[in-house]
Chain A
Amino acid sequence: MSELTDLGVAAIRDGVRSGAFSAREVADAFVVQVSKAKALNAFLVDTPDHAIAAADAADAARAAGETLKPLAGVPIGMKDLFCTKGVASTAASHILEGFTPPYESTVSGKLWDAGAGMLGKLNMDQFAMGSSNETSYFGNVISPWRRADGGNAALAPGGSSGGSSAAIAARLCPAATGTDTGGSIRQPAAFTGISGIKPTYGRCSRWGVVAFASSLDQAGPMARDVRDCAIMLEAMTGFDPKDSTSLDLDVPKWEAGLSSSLAGKRIGIPKEYRVDNMPAEIEALWQQGIDWARDAGAEIVEVSLPHTKYALPAYYIIAPAEASSNLARYDGVRYGLRDLPEGANLQDMYAATRAAGFGDEVKRRIMIGTYVLSAGFYDAYYTQAQKVRTLIARDFERAWESCDLLLTPTAPSAAFALGEKSADPIAMYLNDVFTVPSSLAGLPAMSVPGGLDKDGLPLGLQIIGKPLDEQGVLNAGLALEERAGFVARPEAWW
């Protein structure tokens, strides 16, 4: 029954409900695929027992004639940024190695309450800092995709949610959680030919999610199509008194509200996103997306977001500043690694522990953050960045006067090879040029696959919406998805 692993969230849910197959058959099939895909290094911890227990509960509920839960019988992957009770949670770092949370993150808990089971914890960039999944302490995730040139170069699955994207594209799980601080759901989704949505900041609780940059961090689902993202998002969203920035709003019925008609919608094309040196294929895909949106009934309007070019430098002040504060907690006292050199005092222990426990990119960002927040520099860097952030948010507010949604490419290129950009931090940071502005403004945004480049690699289109308009974003995503007809998948070599 290996074809069960080709099914998405909705198809599994519906098939389990109708009795076309059992939840246990589904869980078993995915557990086998996960065990056979070690070459991808997508999972840090396998939890087949969790997935099977959830499946057995779904089958038992059906046998007893009970109403099945929204995700009954659906096994998923969990990004290792989410703390899971009794299951090691490291954020792909050495400093949290051995940490086993005695509590469950709100988002993962909601998914289990909805009937989902966990196949395992997914690899990622260390502390979600990276765009290629090359900063994990536990090794790179390898994209299941390969270029059609026969060279077999190992490609980046994107980051930071690279284990999530690789696992979904390789049919190791039908859906997974991701988190997005500056593009960490959308860019990996684009690189691997899947869909992913970052909801409005505050929709999903951050409680129990290892903190990177708290004013930007937001959880969201990744899956192979828009409907599956809607189903997952409904289960993940909701008010949580344990997160002070959680929005106290009802959860919309996003799946029921799906409609691919864009009649009456105005879709803005931000002219500043036509960046220098944009590959012709990205340009062509963007135009294709514009044509699809028009075909779906949308009116296309050009808009201006004049401060776009300042979004990345602002982000690389704000995110490291918040990271340097958040990561101060890793001190070798309460959890994780402790490095206590012979004769060391407490201060030496802190410094030795953090030197041994953090990877190079994490140290780089902590040091940038420490620098920009240090005495004498705070106003010039941090305050200025927060002011620029206000201007970026204002750009979007002005754009909403003439349009309802924005359409852009998700990333400035297709997946690059592992090692290709890792020596140049700024080249790596520039990968998030199209995703960071909407993160700074807290807006919902999603990536859907649009097509393949000349090497046979997926390219993504991004839709950005007004605050709380996830429905509009999902609907536009669905309109593009129907027209793109994206069915390409990586050939199994692993």
Chain B
Amino acid sequence: MSVDIATVKKIASLARIAITEEEAARIAPELDNIMGWIEQLGEVDTSSVEPMTAVIPNHLRLRDDVVTDGNVRDAVLSNAPVAEHGFFAVPKVIE
């Protein structure tokens, strides 16, 4: 598997990162090199191995289904680049 410019553009689009043609051309060989190095994992026989899910055995806890906070609207919005009328504001999404 090699990472070409078209692949880089597709990945960047999936990752929501705008890139120029020049950047894609620069990044493609870099990623190709890194992925080539990572390929060596394929050598390892893992046919009878389960994938790791937790490094330290631990049980996910459940808490009571009750409200534990709230009434912090202004704190939630305090770092928003644009907040209007108590909401996060974004460009129009419905035509």
In the complex the two chains form, is B81's CB within 8 Å of A338's CB? yes
Q: Which residues of B contact A374 (CB under 8 A)?
A: 11, 14
- B58 CB to closest chain A CB, in angstroms? 6
Q: Which residues of A contact B85 (CB under 8 A)?
A: none
The 9 sampled A-B contact pairs (Cβ below 8 Å) are A101-B79, A334-B79, A340-B91, A354-B15, A355-B18, A367-B31, A371-B31, A388-B44, A391-B46
Given A201-B55, A352-B18, A467-B56; A391-B44 close (CB under 8 Å): yes
Partner of B81, one of A100, A332, A370, A387: A332
Residues of chain A in range 373-419 having any CB-CB distance to chain B below 8 Å: 374, 380-381, 383-391, 393
Q: Which residues of A contact B61 (CB under 8 A)?
A: 241, 244, 248
A313 contacts B by Cβ under 8 Å: yes
In the complex the two chains form, is B42's CB within 8 Å of A384's CB? yes
Q: Which residues of B contact A354 (CB under 8 A)?
A: 15-18
Q: Chain A, interface size: which category?
A: 35 or more
B67 contacts A by Cβ under 8 Å: no
> CB-defined interface of B60-85 with A at 8 Å, one 1/0 digit per residue?
11010000000010010011111000
A130 contacts B by Cβ under 8 Å: no
In the complex the two chains form, is B60's CB within 8 Å of A345's CB? no
Partner of A384, one of B46, B60, B78: B46
- A302 CB to closest chain B CB, in angstroms? 23
Q: Which residues of A contact B12 (CB under 8 A)?
A: 367
In the complex the two chains form, is B56's CB within 8 Å of A202's CB? yes
Cα distance A103–B79 in the bound complex, in angstroms: 12
Classify the secondary structure of B's interface with A: loop
Given A364-B30, A367-B11, A388-B44; A440-B55 close (CB under 8 Å): yes
Cα distance A467–B41 in the bound complex, in angstroms: 26
Cα distance A324–B15 in the bound complex, in angstroms: 8
Partner of B17, one of A367, A371, A383, A393: A367
> CB-defined interface of B14-56 with A at 8 Å, one 1/0 digit per residue?
1111110000000100110111011111111010011111111
In the complex the two chains form, is A363's CB within 8 Å of B17's CB? yes
A: residues with CB less than 8 A from B are 98-103, 200-202, 215, 241, 244-245, 247-248, 307, 309-310, 313-314, 316-317, 324, 328, 331-338, 340, 344-352, 354-355, 358, 363-364, 366-368, 370-371, 374, 380-381, 383-391, 393, 425-426, 440-442, 467
* Interface residue total, chain B, C-beta cutoff 8 A: 51
In the complex the two chains form, is B52's CB within 8 Å of A390's CB? yes
Q: Which residues of A contact B52 (CB under 8 A)?
A: 386-387, 389-390, 393, 440
In the complex the two chains form, is A347's CB within 8 Å of B88's CB? no
Cα distance A220–B80 in the bound complex, in angstroms: 31
- A483 CB to closest chain B CB, in angstroms? 31
Residue among B7, B46, B72 having the largest count of chain A Cβ atoms under 10 Å: B46
Partner of A387, one of B8, B49, B75: B49
Cα distance A6–B21 in the bound complex, in angstroms: 53
Cα distance A422–B30 in the bound complex, in angstroms: 13
Cα distance A395–B38 in the bound complex, in angstroms: 20
Partner of A442, one of B40, B41, B43, B55: B55
Cα distance A336–B16 in the bound complex, in angstroms: 16
In the complex the two chains form, is A364's CB within 8 Å of B27's CB? yes
B3 contacts A by Cβ under 8 Å: yes
Partner of A337, one of B3, B38, B81, B92: B81
Name the CB-closest residue of A to B7: A371
Q: Which residues of A contact B46 (CB under 8 A)?
A: 384, 387-388, 390-391
Name the CB-closest residue of A to B17: A354
Partner of B40, one of A200, A313, A387: A313
Q: Which residues of A contact B42 (CB under 8 A)?
A: 380, 384
